[in-house]
Amino acid sequence: MAKQSRRTEILEQRPVNLDGFVEEWPEVGMVAMDSPYDPEPSVRVENGVIVEMDGKPRAEFDFLDQFIADHAIDAEATEAAMAMEPVQIARMLVDPGVSRGEVLAVSRGLTPAALLEVVKTMNVVEMMQAVQKMRARRTIANQAHSTSARDNPVQVAAEAAEAALRGFRELETTLGVVRYAPLVAIALQVGALAGKPGVLTQCALEEATELELGMRGITAYAETISVYGTEPVFCDGDDTPWSKAFLASAYASRGIKMRFTSGTGSEVQMGNAEGKSMLYLEIRCILVTKGAGVQGLQNGSISCIGVPGAVPGGIRAVLAENLIASTVDLESASGNDQSFSHSDMRRTARLLPQLLPGTDFVCSGYSAVPNYDNMFAGSNLDAADYDDWNTIQRDLQVDGGLRHVPEAELLAARNRAARALQGVFAQLGLPAITDKEVEAATYAHGSQDLPLRDVLEDLKAAQQVMDRGVTGLDIVKALEGAGYSDMAHTLLGILRHRVSGDLLHTSAILTPELETLSAVNDANDYAGPGTGYRPSGARWEEMKRLRHVVSAQNPETEVG
């Protein structure tokens, strides 16, 4: 065996070398965004109908081609848009002198292959500049996972309160045991109310149960409605673009905010990439989302980041998919949600292209719990990363939506959430939450710090919630009955927003004052230096505060 240098031995021990890397293999789609098998851009319109797209006549369209051609591309604008050179459109994206509206007027006519050619001309810095302008909503936001390895509703409530207090405007949970869902969904909503008013919550499940929880008002939004870039993968889920559009309309009919989910690499992971690049197939997903009339998309290689992360240029392709979602006027919940690397440097490098320019939701799943509790297979960032995140915000004066909160406030919110849930469970006749559980949840880091619950009794109660038809209004009444009138009024206000349809606007969130911010009344107005959203005033003062900031006059005194 050849002798190794000491330098090589040290490098071999670096965490990054535990990651997986693979050479490109275009024939099976193992290539990020530049496959020789991707089609060339083209379009032809006859009598107002697209009869050729990306080198394929209409008679040869698969169902994605047909859906995109008929519902996602403006037939009146497409021939003029497609006549433009890709680099010309890319320069429009980067140029702060070209408005977002001018870009949207062009992008509505571009085919999947044309959108791919545009971003292929751009480097990562240029894409970030474009994201800064093309983001739908002016104000940055963030979303967190609040889950429990034991599906413990008391833990979920406490974690939701802390996450809301730290600044997240959407909170998502999922389950290890699906039948626990009603109790955990109630816990998530109650906990969020205890932390900060106006936080929207969802429970990610199979679609029938998820829809029912939403229709009952136990959740406020949904995002795990997956779309795919090839017909065989779509069919694996017994779905078509039309069935997904019908499902989206079911959510919208009840005022439930929702977005589709897709991600670069999913078709490779499922074995049917048809030899196309990951990004080309993802662009088809983006346009299916647009064609279905859905307001936004959770994308950024959701649940499959290890695939593009293993090939050259893969993280660039992930940024490109976020940019394209914004470029066709969708809300972008831009990933940063699944673990993909052992390297802290790589984890940060994957985050910064979304954090620095800002997206509608910088993370579509920052883990508000330790990753051992994250039932979404772990996140790129977890509860141990809060101080690092806040420090990066302060260092660079960029807003990632979070803030440092003194421990006394966190403990008070966690305790109130657990006690409020204790009261709600009592009012609804659900299994008792003990004072010991409340105390443990107040101070816990994760599920390992909480006493075990009687799972069988909880599961029986969860079924009773469904059988009895418990709704969001019942939770309002339970909060009022338990002495939490402010939380009851906040939840009632969120339900009113659903009735009004306020959550259906592109990129809608609620402020702590229960005012809607969206692309309608908070449109991104970036137009170069000195314009657009940037943290200032009270928000910048808040971002300056960290755990161990000391007084300049008295270095022995912490002021953070």
485-500 and 472-481 are packed helices; what angle lies between their axes, rounded to 10 degrees? 160
Annotated active-site residue 364? The verdict is yes
Let me know: does 381 contact 367? Beta carbons within 8 Å: yes
- From the list 107, 129, 145, 334, the catalytic residue is 145
- List 364, 393, 422, 507, catalytic entry: 364
CA dihedral 187, 188, 191, 195 (to 10 degrees): 180
- Residue 380: phi, psi to the nearest 5? -60, -25
Q: How many CB atoms lie within 10 A of CB 434?
A: 12
Residues 368 and 383: beta-carbon distance below 8 Å: yes
Helix, strand, or coil here: 56? Answer: strand
Residues 6+ apart with CB under 8 A from 49: 58, 70, 75
Looking at 172, 437, 474, 480, which residue is catalytic?
A: 172
Residue in 170, 207, 223, 282 annotated catalytic: 223
Candidate list 35, 107, 143, 507, residue with the active-site label: 143
From the list 107, 129, 277, 298, the catalytic residue is: 298
- 3-state SS of 521-558 is CCECCCCCCCCCCCCCHHHHHHHHCCCCCECCCCCCCE
Whether the CB-CB separation of 357 and 131 falls below 8 Å is answered with yes
Q: Are 470 and 195 in contact (CB under 8 A)?
A: no
Active site residue 269: no
What's the rounded Cα separation, in Å, for the pair 342 and 350? 12
Output helix, strand, coil percentages for the chain, rounded to the nearest 5.
Answer: 50, 10, 40
How remote is the C-alpha of 500 from its chain's centroid? 24
Is 143 part of the annotated catalytic residue set? yes
172 is catalytic: yes
Query: Active-site residue 337, yes or no?
Result: yes
Q: What's 373-439 look like in SS3? A: HCCCCCCCCCHHHHHHHHHHHHHHCCCCCCCCCCHHHHHHHHHHHHHHHHHHHHHHCCCCCCHHHHH
Q: Give the closest residue to 447 by CA, choosing from 24, 155, 34.
A: 155
Catalytic residues, by residue number, are 143, 145, 172, 223, 298, 337, 364
